[in-house]
Amino acid sequence: MKRKTWTDRANYSRTDQQLLSELKEYVEINGIPARYKDICPINHLASYIVYHRRFGGSLSEWLQLCGINLTDKQKFNLSIHSGDKKTKADCIKIILAMQKEKIAPLMYDDFRGSSYDHVSITQIKKYWGSLNNMKKELGLEIIQNVMTKEIYIKDDFDKKCKDFATYIKENNIQSLTTRSMRKTDKYPSVSSLNRYSKKYYNKSIVDYLKSTYNIEFGKQGNGKVTKFDDGEVAVSNYEYNFSTFLRKIGLQFNKDYFRDIKYSTIDTEYCGQMNCDYMICINGRIIYVELAGLLNGKRYTNAYLQQIPITNSKSKELYRQKLNEKRRMLERNKCDYYIFCGKDLNQKLYENIFTNISSEQKLVICMKYFKEVI
């Protein structure tokens, strides 16, 4: 057996109270340890092994013995650094709480990411194998055409394509791109569908959907084209989502909001052909909105906000310059406006602003924020 060093003998000679007092003093000076390896002689503490052999359990429990209360997040961070993972029981507790809060059936997207109070896709697969298996065990509602993406036989492929065609029809989508299809978590990836389409029908997925369901795929740059029942046409996912939001809060097309407003009607000095995406008339105010979807992505959003030329894309640089020209016209004519780009293009932000539109103070704050960051 290996002989103990002087340091080891000194560590083991400490009483339980000494060990806990030293740990508490360390926390008071340095804060909660970032990792288990911080429990070591170099930090004037006994080694982690000494604490473990003396008290058992985890670092979180040792800190509680010292009278230090930890938040759930701090406990989670310590468990991650120690290599511990959520148990199946932990996951079940969180999932049931998620379901209770959401009310609607849980979807694949609800399990993206990871945090102390969140169950990840990886954990779902670890304990249940698939989302459907988890739902079966916990008695949660399964949406067959949404929750499973696997393809095992030709019938699975046919059903996926039929469901996708139904989705296209029900949402009045006139054309789409493989990119928009790839972002739809209800269905397998485009590459997977393409592989099975060639296997079963000797056609690409684009050709198969066109010949079987008359689904047309547009050019990549044009995005999804949707025609609403009242005649409004959205030529991108961003426009579709924003118009859907406006309708959700009770606004009507060509009555409360208008599309493609010529800047020549906003600025008498301008004689070009540029249009503004939206003009919204709400509570006596006129608000102009531009959806700068082409500048999606942190790099391009920052280039616009910080007035930095985009050198790797001529089309995006031209778009950035035109957007700056539009902003100058809106400011010159003292218009209320929003320019949404990149991460701003999401429904949560729209709700925070437009559902509080009747609050004068809220509106002024919002307008000031957008003009400052732009």
139: left (phi over 0), alpha (psi -120 to 50) or beta: left
**Per the structure block, which two tokens stand in for 333?**
């004519």
**Pair 262, 365 in one domain:** yes
Q: What is the pLDDT of residues 217-233, one digit of tens each?
A: 654 444 567 788 888 98
**Pair 369, 253 in one domain:** yes
**Pair 103, 51 in one domain:** no
By residue range, what is the domain housing residue 182?
A: 154-213
**Full-model pTM:** 0.45
The whole-number pLDDT of residue 358 equals: 53
Q: Is residue 110 part of a domain?
A: yes
Could you tell me where the DSSP H helices lie in the chain?
A: 6-13, 16-30, 48-55, 59-65, 72-81, 88-102, 121-128, 131-138, 144-147, 154-170, 178-182, 190-201, 205-213, 237-248, 298-305, 314-332, 347-354, 360-373
Distance (Å, whole) CA 239 – CA 294: 12
DSSP assignment of 293-345, as one string? Answer: GGG-SHHHHHHHHTT----S-HHHHHHHHHHHHHHHHHHHTT-EEEEEEGGG-
The whole-number pLDDT of residue 237 equals: 78
Domain final position from 57, 81, 105: 81
Q: Is residue 235 part of a domain?
A: no
Q: Assess whether pLDDT exceeds 70 at residue 359.
A: no
Domain total of the chain:
4
Q: Is residue 228 part of a domain?
A: no
**Pair 270, 356 in one domain:** yes
Residue 105 DSSP code: P
Contact indicator for 168, 176 with CB cutoff of 8 Å: yes
Domain final position from 107, 126, 145: 145
Contact indicator for 62, 23 with CB cutoff of 8 Å: yes
**Pair 114, 184 in one domain:** no
The whole-number pLDDT of residue 147 equals: 39
The whole-number pLDDT of residue 36 equals: 66
Residue 334's pLDDT band (boundaries 50, 70, 90)?
Answer: very high
Q: Is residue 319 part of a domain?
A: yes
Place of tokens 């209360």: 69
Per-residue burial over 122-140, b if 16 or more Cβ lie within 10 Å, else e, is ebbeebbeebbebbeeeeb
Domain final position from 81, 103, 128: 81
Contact indicator for 342, 297 with CB cutoff of 8 Å: yes
Q: Is residue 234 part of a domain?
A: no
**Pair 25, 65 in one domain:** yes
**Pair 68, 175 in one domain:** no
Measured in degrees and rounded to the nearest 5, phi and psi for residue 298 equal -55, -40
Q: Assess whether pLDDT exceeds 50 at residue 42.
A: yes
Share the mean pLDDT of the chain: 76
Q: Is residue 219 part of a domain?
A: no
**Pair 291, 324 in one domain:** yes
The whole-number pLDDT of residue 8 equals: 44
Q: Is residue 171 part of a domain?
A: yes
**Pair 62, 96 in one domain:** no
What letter represents residue 124's amino acid?
Answer: I
Mean pLDDT, rounded, for 291-296? 84
**Pair 363, 276 in one domain:** yes
**Pair 26, 130 in one domain:** no
Q: To the nearest 10°, report the CA torsion of 20, 24, 30, 31.
A: 110
Residue 321's pLDDT band (boundaries 50, 70, 90)?
Answer: very high
**Pair 161, 137 in one domain:** no
Q: Assess whether pLDDT exceeds 90 at residue 175.
A: no
Q: Is residue 363 part of a domain?
A: yes
What letter represents residue 59's amino acid?
Answer: L
